[in-house]
A and B are shown apart, each in its own frame.
Chain A
């Protein structure tokens, strides 16, 4: 099975940069995804890393290191609207079928 660990809460200042870490233990690993969820909303996809390295999408970047079983989400130029929960996720049981195992989520608090 899969197990993903991430901090429960992170606080940052508007305009700053914040990094949300995720470590994982998986019996078969096919990549790491990140999702954002605002209070009362549905999770929305942010990024996916299948290979080691950095993936950049606007203000958001995601990094993966398979050798360290570690990844992170980097948010730059923080805005108040970035206040949300962020989840790392990995395929539940490997390739060939969908379904994700999620970390418990990191609640990002942004202060003005």
Chain B
């Protein structure tokens, strides 16, 4: 079974631009969560989608948004990029309606904002 995939793996943008990141969950998994990882703040929860609906949202500004498609693939978008948005963005998928006992993480997208 293929794991969680994320594209692109690396991205360089400039302040003010916007970016879209993609995540394909493990086949059969319907829940996708997104996280931001930085050295200072650690792993922080962004939002979670299940069956195309956002069920859960972390404490991030409205510049961060996401969506999920009918095939469970998910995208997240960051608009008006700031230097502080430089981070590793991880997505994770879980099987079942709610199975926070195990999340499967993708390799992440390393975003650098200049």
Contacts and interface: CB of A to CB of B under 8 A. Distances in A.
B105 A99 contact: no
B43 A98 contact: no
26 contacts: A33-B101, A41-B107, A42-B107, A42-B108, A43-B105, A48-B102, A92-B45, A92-B56, A95-B98, A97-B48, A97-B50, A98-B31, A98-B33, A98-B48, A98-B55, A98-B56, A98-B94, A99-B45, A99-B47, A99-B56, A99-B58, A100-B100, A102-B43, A102-B44, A103-B42, A104-B42
B87 interface: no
A71 interface: no
Interface of A is mostly: loop
Contacts of A48: 101-102
Q: How large is the interface on B (under 10, 10 to 19, 20 to 34, 35 or more residues)?
A: 20 to 34
Interface string B71-113: 0000000000000000000101010001111111111100000
B50 to A, nearest CB: 7
Contact of A99 (B48, B107, B108): B48
Given A42-B107, A45-B103, A97 B42 contact: no
A8 B105 CA distance: 22
Interface in A90-111: 91-93, 95-105
B106 A42 contact: yes
B45 A101 contact: yes
B106 A96 contact: no
Interface string B50-77: 1000011010000000000000000000
A34 to B, nearest CB: 11
Contacts of B94: 98
Contacts of A99: 33, 45, 47-48, 55-56, 58, 100
Contacts of B90: 42-43
